[in-house]
Structure formats: structure tokens, C-alpha cells
Amino acid sequence: MIGALTTLLSCQLVGEVLVRALHLPVPGPVLGMVVLLTALVLRGREMPPALGATADALLGHLGLLFVPAGVGVVLYLPLLARNWAPISLVVVAGTLLTIAATGRLAQALLRRLG
Amino acid sequence: MSDLSEIWVYLARAPLAALTATLLAWLGALRLQRALGRHPLANPVLLAVALLAGGLLLSGIDYRAYFEGAQFVHFLLGPATVALAVPLYRQWHQVRRSALVAAVSIVSGGAFAVAAGTGLALGLGAAPEVTASLAPRSVTTPVAMGIAERIGGLPSLTAAVVICSGVVGAALGPAVLDLARVRDWRARGLAMGTAAHGVGTARALSVNATAGAFSGLAMGLNALATALLLPLLWRLLAGG
């Protein structure tokens, strides 16, 4: 488990360094995900069981990890209250329309090509 | 009395209390979700945030003081994002087979998210800085904040609407996909990750492994595509 955590943190660190060195517009952890995926694909064998178990443990409660940042909404309550109409419409209708449109498009393309 | 206030000062300041409260709120939210029969609106992220935000507002504790403790949970978001490579690799043969379709769907979906958000905001007469803050709302928070800053939005407002969009997508997205008769798990995952980033991916992972893998892929690729294209298009449209 410590070995697997070290792998995850090392990939994140490589991601953070690359993002800064190459001035990439993505966050370090997202690039870290690409680094880990590339390493696994190049290695080309079964997933190391410890890495699989540690990733499953972290991702099993992925929602929890968004809670501290989510509570930060309290800082913007006045700003949100002043612009509540466009914000709530865009957040609710915009997000749900995007989900429907992306899902329909992906399903149609997968049927035809995939 | 002075003992009590001393204890209160300790609890309000030390990281231990904020960390414990965050975990308790999460466990409470999971229980509440079960008690409400897993109703789509009973999203555990939404419930836990509401519990803690209510607690902070009632007790008058500053968010920054709370975050001092909660940052230990927040920190794990980095390695957890890296760990999304694991479900992706488990589904690798499937992902590789539909890589082109996935990329086209994600980029189109990301463009649709920006266009729909901007159109609705302009239609309602939102101020330009509010419109610019809403445009990047479907990508993961740090990327969205960076984009908002570049196109004249308010990064702090963007952070709030990104989280809200994620929670709305995670809570209601599966029902919308049922209504739209999207039954392919790959397509469902792509839709959740494109529109509702990590919070949607958390929901997708808890429902189906294939959907979770494609959702993580969509979150990453949409962040990249939106970060590269949105500021460019914004400048073209605003300048022209």
C-alpha cells in the first residue's frame, strides 16, 4: 500500500513538474494520470494488485475528497445570491443538456463506428 | 465558562476538529442517502457540503479555519485523480477500440457545454464577467479557474459554479441519461465526465466500472480541450 501510494504521488509529482516546465494548461494530477496510464500500458502486464487495491480504496470515496472544496461555496453566497437567476439556470439546464447531448452523440457514434 | 470557551477556541482552530467533522458529515451523508432510498437528489457530496456549510454559517467559524483541517482530505484529490488511470487501464482494450469516438464526443460535448452556458447566460442578460465565469463550468476546478481568469471572469465565482455543476450532474445526470435512452455504459460515462468532471466521475464509478473509466477519460480530455480552445475562441468572438 505504501509502495502504491508512492507510485501515485510520484506520478503526480512528475505531472506537476512537467506542467510547470512546459507551461501546460492542465493541472498536475491530470497529467499524472496520463503518466501512470502510459507507464501501465508500456509495462503491458497485469495491474499490480497493491496498486489496484489502493486506487480502489481512494476512488471508492472519491466524492468525499470534493467536500472540503465544495464547502467553499459559503464564501461566495452573496455573489451567488446577486446573480442567482442566470447562474442557477446555466448550472442546472446547461449541465443537464450537456449530459443528454454528449450521451446521445457518443451512443450514436459508438453504434455506427465502435 | 472560561474552560468552555478555551475548548471552543481549540476546536475552532485545530485541524483535528475540522477533519473529524468532514468525515462525520460524509458518513452522515451516506446514511442519509440510504435512508432516502438512494433518491437521485440525495447525492452524498451535496448532503455533506450542505451539512458542513450550515454548520460553519451557524457557528460563525471561518471557512479558512475549517479548510486548515479539511485540507488533509482535499490533498488526497491529487493522488486520487492520478489513480483514475487504474480503472482506465482495466478497461484499456475497450477504451482503445473506441478512442476516436470518445475523443470526438468529449470535444463536441465540451464545446456544447460552453455554448449552452454562454447562450443561456447572455439570453438572461447576465453581466459579462458572470458569463465569462460560467463558460468553463464543466471542467475540473483548477483548470476552470485558470480559464475564467484569462477570459475576464471571476475565478472564485467559477469555483463555486464548477462544484454546483458537478453536484447537479452527479445527482440528476443518470436520470437525464435514462430519459434520453442512453444505455451504453461507455456513452453514459463520457457524458458524465464531460459535463460534471470529477464529481460526475465519482458517481459514474460508484455505478459501473466501464462508465467510471470513460468518465475519468472524459474529465481529463475535456479539461485539456477546453483549456486550449476556450480562451482562443473567446478572444475571436469578443474581438470580432
Q: Flag whether residue B153 sits within 8 Å of chain A, measured between CB atoms.
A: no
Counting the structural domains of chain A, the total is: 2
> Does residue B239 have a pLDDT over 80?
no
**Are A38 and A50 found together in one domain?**
yes
The minimum CA-CA distance between B1 and chain A, rounded to whole Å, is 30
A56/A80 same-domain check = no
Asked if A5 and A43 sit in the same domain, the reply is yes
Q: Is B95 on the interface with A (CB under 8 A)?
A: no
Which A residues, 3 through 22, put their C-beta within 8 Å of a C-beta on chain B?
Answer: 5, 8-9, 11-12, 15
DSSP for chain B, written as a single string: -HHHHHHHHHHHHSHHHHHHHHHHHHHHHHHHHHHTTT-TT--HHHHHHHHHHHHHHHHT--HHHHHHHHHHHHHTHHHHHHHTHHHHHHTHHHHHHTHHHHHHHHHHHHHHHHHHHHHHHHHTT--HHHHHHHTTTTS-HHHHHHHHHHTT--HHHHHHHHHHHHHHHHHHHHHHHHHTT---HHHHHHHHHHHHHHHHHHHHHHH-HHHHHHHHHHHHHHHHHHHHHHHHHHHHHHH-
Answer yes or no: do A56 and A87 share one domain: no
Nearest-neighbour CA in chain B from A21: distance (Å) = 17
The structure's pTM equals: 0.88
Residue range(s) defining the domain that contains residue A7:
1-65
- A84 and A59 co-located in one domain: no
Query: Do A13 and A48 have their domain in common?
Result: yes
Encode pLDDT of A24-33 as tens digits.
878 889 899 9
Residue A76 confidence (pLDDT) above 90: no
The answer to whether residues A49 and A20 belong to one domain is yes
Mean pLDDT of B183-200: 96
Residue of A nearest to B150 (CA): A25
Rounded average pLDDT over B48-71: 93
Q: Looking at the structure, do residues A77 and A61 belong to the same domain, yes or no?
A: no
Q: Please tell me whether residues A90 and A49 are part of one structural domain.
A: no
Average pLDDT over residues B54-67: 93
pLDDT at res. B11: 77
Q: What is the mean pLDDT of residues B83-99?
A: 91
Q: Which of residues 62-101 of A touch B (CB under 8 A)?
A: 62-76, 79-80, 83, 85-87, 89-101
- Tens of pLDDT, residue by residue over B119-165, are 999 999 898 999 999 999 999 988 898 899 889 998 888 988 999 99
Complex-level ipTM: 0.93
Nearest CB to B44 within list A29, A63, A72: A63
Kindly identify which residue of chain A lies nearest to residue B26, measuring between CA atoms.
A64
Q: Answer yes or no: do A96 and A59 share one domain.
A: no
Please check whether residues A20 and A59 belong to one and the same domain.
Answer: yes
Residues A4 and A60 both lie in one domain: yes
